[in-house]
Amino acid sequence: MDVEMTLEGAGFEVINLMSCEAAHGWLDQYLPDVVIVDIELRDGPCTDVVLRLVEGNIRFLVHSGDQPGKYACTPFAHGAWVSKPAAADDLARAARAALEILVAHRPPRLPERR
């Protein structure tokens, strides 16, 4: 709850999904700018969800108490790691940094024709 409130206070629109099934359903309909994932959700590890993020070139942060090295050869290695415990402000800063990278690498828009 603290993380969610801090992110909303930092200007993020937050959608909290507690299961892999819910995450897949949401991703079927929406394209997020940045995602914060915990490795274990209610219905198990979210490896397939993260693989989908990697394949879709969607930036994500892994917020976990596990050690990053344990996941070096998995899709989780493609995300920025924010270890637990972490202050909610640290997550907000990391998410903002991920968005800044996204904006910096986004192709420029073509001017509208009149």
Enumerate residues 6+ apart whose C-beta is below 8 A from 9: none
Please report whether residue 67 resides in a domain: yes
The per-residue pLDDT for 8 is 92
Q: How far is CA 74 from the centre of its chain?
A: 16
Bridging pattern class, strands 59-64 and 44-45: unpaired
Give CA–CA dist 98/21, Å, rounded. Answer: 25
The percentage of the chain sitting over the pLDDT mark of 90, rounded to a whole number, equals 68
Number of domains in the chain: 1
The percentage of the chain sitting over the pLDDT mark of 70, rounded to a whole number, equals 88
Task: State which amino acid sits at residue 10.
Answer: A
Please report whether residue 113 resides in a domain: no
Lowest mean pLDDT across 35-44, 69-78, 100-109: 100-109
Residue 33 binned pLDDT confidence (cut-offs 50, 70, 90): very high
77's tokens: 């290695």
Please report whether residue 112 resides in a domain: no
| 50-81 pLDDT tens trace | 999 999 999 999 999 999 999 999 999 999 99
Residue 1 binned pLDDT confidence (cut-offs 50, 70, 90): low
Enumerate residues 6+ apart whose C-beta is below 8 A from 72: none
The per-residue pLDDT for 99 is 85
Please report whether residue 6 resides in a domain: yes
Q: Please answer whether residues 81 and 62 qualify as being in contact, where contact means their C-beta atoms are separated by less than 8 angstroms.
A: yes
Find the mean pLDDT for residues 79-86: 90
pTM exceeds 0.75, yes or no: yes
If DSSP codes are grouped into helix, strand and coil, which group holds residue 43?
Answer: coil
Domain extent, residue 72, equals 2-104
If DSSP codes are grouped into helix, strand and coil, which group holds residue 64?
Answer: strand
The per-residue pLDDT for 86 is 84
- Cβ-based neighbour number of residue 53 at 10 Å: 22
